[in-house]
Amino acid sequence: MHDPAITPELVAKHNLTPDEYQKILEILGREPSYPELGIFSVMWSEHCSYKNTRPVLKTFPTKGEKILVGAGEENAGIIDVGDGVAIAFKIESHNHPSAVEPFQGAATGVGGIIRDIFTMGARPVAALNSLRFGELSNPEVRRLFSGVVGGIAHYGNCFGIPTVAGEVYFDKSYEGNPLVNAFALGVLRHDQITRGAARGVGNPVFYVGPATGRDGLAGAAFASQDLTEESAEQQRGAVQVGDPFMEKLVCEACLELLATGCVAGMQDMGAAGLTCSTCETAARAGTGIEIELDKVPQRAPNMSSYEIMLSESQERMLIVVHKGREAEVKAVFDKWDLPWAEIGVVTDTGRMVVRHGGKVVVDVPAKKLADDAPVYQREAREAAYMAGVRAFRLDGIADTRDPMGHLATLLADHTIASKNWVYGQYDHMVRDGSVVCPGSDAAVIRIKADSLPVTKAEYAALKAGTADPYAPPAPLADKYVAFTVDCNGGYVYLDPYEGGKAAVTEACRNLACSGAIPVGSTDNLNFGNPHNPEIFWQLKESVRGLADGCRAFGAPVTGGNVSLYNQRGALGAIDPTPTVAVVGIIEKPEHITTQWFKDAGDAILLLGAPVDLADPLQGLGGSAYLKRVHGQKNGLPPRVDLAAAQTLHTTLLGLIREGVVKSAHDGSEGGLAVTLAESCFSRQVARESHRFLGATIDLAACAPEGARLDALLFGETQNRVVISVAAIDAGRVVKQARAMGVPAVQIGTVGGDDLVLKTPAGEFSAPVAGLHDRWWNAIARAMA
Segment 343-383, tens digit of pLDDT: 999 999 999 999 999 999 999 999 999 888 999 999 999 99
CB count in 10 Å sphere of residue 344: 26
| Nearest-angstrom CA–CA distance, 272 and 240 | 12
What's 532's DSSP letter?
A: S
List, in sequence order, every beta strand (DSSP E) within 654-753.
661-666, 695-698, 721-725, 744-750
Query: pLDDT at position 230, please?
Result: 63
Is residue 47 part of the annotated active site? The answer reads yes
Model confidence, pTM: 0.95
**232-246 pLDDT, tens digit each:** 555 555 677 899 999
| Stated length of the chain | 784
**295-346 pLDDT, tens digit each:** 999 998 999 999 999 999 999 999 999 999 999 999 999 999 999 999 999 9
| Nearest-angstrom CA–CA distance, 784 and 782 | 6
Catalytic residue among 2, 14, 94, 690: 94
| Nearest-angstrom CA–CA distance, 227 and 176 | 9
Query: pLDDT at position 596, please?
Result: 95
Is residue 94 part of the annotated active site? The answer reads yes
Q: Average pLDDT per run of 10 along the chain, which is 784 residues long?
A: 90 94 96 96 91 96 96 95 96 94 95 96 97 97 98 97 97 95 98 96 97 75 59 62 95 97 94 91 96 95 93 94 96 96 97 96 95 93 97 96 98 97 95 92 94 93 88 86 98 98 98 98 97 97 98 97 92 96 97 96 97 97 98 97 98 98 97 97 56 92 94 98 98 98 98 96 96 96 97
Catalytic residue among 47, 96, 356, 414: 47
Q: Distances from the Cα of 427 to the Cαs of 128, 149, 162, 430, in angstroms?
A: 11, 12, 5, 6
Residue 459's region, left for phi above 0, alpha for psi from -120 to 50, else beta, is alpha
Query: pLDDT at position 686, please?
Result: 43
| Nearest-angstrom CA–CA distance, 113 and 677 | 35
| Nearest-angstrom CA–CA distance, 343 and 281 | 15
Which are the contacts of 405, defined by CB distance < 8 A and separation ≥ 6? none
Q: Is 95 helix (H, G, I), strand (E, B) or coil?
A: helix
Secondary element (H or E) of residue 267 = strand 263-268
Residue 328 backbone phi and psi in degrees, to 5: -65, -40
Query: pLDDT at position 224, please?
Result: 53
**653-705 pLDDT, tens digit each:** 999 999 999 999 999 999 999 999 999 987 754 444 457 899 999 999 899 99
| Nearest-angstrom CA–CA distance, 349 and 364 | 10
Half-sphere exposure of 500 toward its Cβ, with a 13 Å CA cutoff? 26
| Nearest-angstrom CA–CA distance, 243 and 372 | 34
| Nearest-angstrom CA–CA distance, 378 and 53 | 8
CB 242 within 8 A of CB 155: yes
| Nearest-angstrom CA–CA distance, 264 and 323 | 9
Selection from 355, 353, 356 nearest residue 302 by Cα? 356
CB 758 within 8 A of CB 700: yes
Selection from 435, 456, 482 nearest residue 189 by Cα? 456
Which are the contacts of 692, defined by CB distance < 8 A and separation ≥ 6? 680, 681, 684, 685, 753, 768, 769, 772
**Alpha-carbon torsion 428, 434, 436, 442, what sign?**
negative
Q: How far apart are the first and last CA of the chain?
A: 50
Selection from 88, 687, 43 nearest residue 362 by Cα? 43
Spell out a b/e string for 283-311, using b for 16 or more CB atoms within 10 Å of the CB, else e: bbbebbbbbbbeebbbeeeebbbbbbbbb
